[in-house]
Amino acid sequence: MRKKALFSSIIVAIIIFPEIAFACATCYGNSDAAAVEGMNKAIFTMLGITGGVLSGVGSSIYVLNRRAKKHANSLPNQKDTIRR
């Protein structure tokens, strides 16, 4: 019910104020402007930072998983129950 009300209010707002549905001045304007080039560089920078952070988190999880398996396999009584 809430989703339907939210969706309906967004549609009504777009119908009443159609200028909010238009693109921003940077996207709507000249594609060779300096502001557009700066925006593109900012987007690629944010994607690079996000990718770097996600890669770091993923590699940390991988390393911790490897260390946990190595430690579990080194325990004398647990070798039978560890999956490899």
Q: Is the pLDDT of residue 65 over 70?
A: yes
Q: pTM of the full predicted structure?
A: 0.53
pLDDT value, residue 82: 56
Share the mean pLDDT of the chain: 83
| Tens of pLDDT, residues 30-61 | 777 787 788 889 999 999 999 999 999 999 99
| CA 69/CA 23 separation, integer angstroms | 52
pLDDT value, residue 18: 78
